[in-house]
Amino acid sequence: MERGAVAARIGKSDERITRTQGIPRCHLEIIDYNGEGRWSRAEILGRYTCYVAEIGIVPRDLSPREHAERGRRWVYPVMMKVIDGIEAGDLACVRIGIEFIEEDAKFPFGKTLKSNTARALRRARLSNEQKQRIRQRVFGLLLAGHIPYEYREYARLVRKIGFEASEVPAVDVSNPYVARFRSYFEQAAGSGN
């Protein structure tokens, strides 16, 4: 019989399974989709804990969703739980969400996470300072000519929170995406947001 194989002996009076010595231990491969550095799971949870203490609210569970199968364990981004917190009105999650859309780094599921963060922030209660930070970020991207996948949701967010026509930057309209969003903001400003 080979090493690690399972031998079964079934008798008339008893059923017994015997295992040979030397069965290799299972090695669990962990695939963590959280970012690194400032956007690692530990850093996000640490900032969340500080914000909760500073604001004085009841913390929510931000444990990331996990899935295990066939010797692998996937750890999904904590930002998914942060987005749920934004939708539930958690002010600490709102702060993290604004920091997230201000970030230029790339992340696993980044396009989707940033789009969903902007969508959740549209329904959140924001302070004037937070609204200004969002406008600066979105108009800064437009001015730089950097229109990422999630920019459509960013533009909708800015339209929802409001802006002055004078805040829309003069841009190089040779880039068709920049020209489209410049036009979008001009129309929104003309209609009173």
8 Å CB contact between 151 and 187: no
Percentage above 90 pLDDT, the chain:
54
- CA of residue 155 relative to chain centroid, distance: 18
Q: Residue 13: what pLDDT?
A: 38
* Residue located via tokens 């020209």: 179
Q: Using only C-alpha atoms, what is the Rg of the chain?
A: 25
What is the C-alpha separation between 124 and 62, in angstroms, rounded? Answer: 18
Residues 9-41 have pLDDT tens digits of 333 334 344 444 444 555 788 887 787 888 889
Reference 6, options 19, 16, 23; nearest CA is: 19
**Domain positions in the chain:** 28-190
At 175-185, the pLDDT tens digits run: 899 999 999 99
User: φ, ψ for residue 72 (rounded to 5)?
Assistant: -130, 145
Euclidean distance between CA atoms 124 and 89, whole angstroms: 6
pLDDT in tens, 89-119: 999 999 999 999 999 888 888 899 999 999 9
Rounded to an integer, what distance in angstroms lies between the CA atom of residue 158 and that of residue 131? Answer: 8
pLDDT of residue 151: 95
Environment class of 116 (CB within 10 Å of its CB; exposed 0-12, middle 13-18, buried 19+) = buried
